């Protein structure tokens, strides 16, 4: 991560989307299988 900071680049991120995915995985354990393929 320090390499990214040193280059002045910030990786794309969306905190709300990340929270939604994690919540979905906690509610429906089969969602994990679907998400893993995308990550």
> Tens digit of pLDDT for each residue in 1-39?
555 556 677 878 899 999 999 999 999 988 888 888 887
The HSE-up count of residue 7 (CA atoms within 13 Å, CB side) is 7
Structure token digits, residue 7: 């280059």
Tokens of residue 39, six digits: 């990550």
The token pair at 23 is: 């919540």
Distance CA 3, CA 7 (A): 6
Predicted TM-score (pTM) of this structure = 0.58
Provide Rg for the chain, Cα atoms.
14
Q: What confidence score (pLDDT) does residue 26 get?
A: 93
């Amino acid at each position: 991560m320090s390499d990214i900071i040193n280059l002045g680049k910030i990786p794309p991120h969306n905190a709300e989307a990340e929270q939604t995915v994690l919540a979905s995985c906690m509610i429906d354990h089969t969602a994990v299988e679907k998400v893993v393929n995308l990550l």
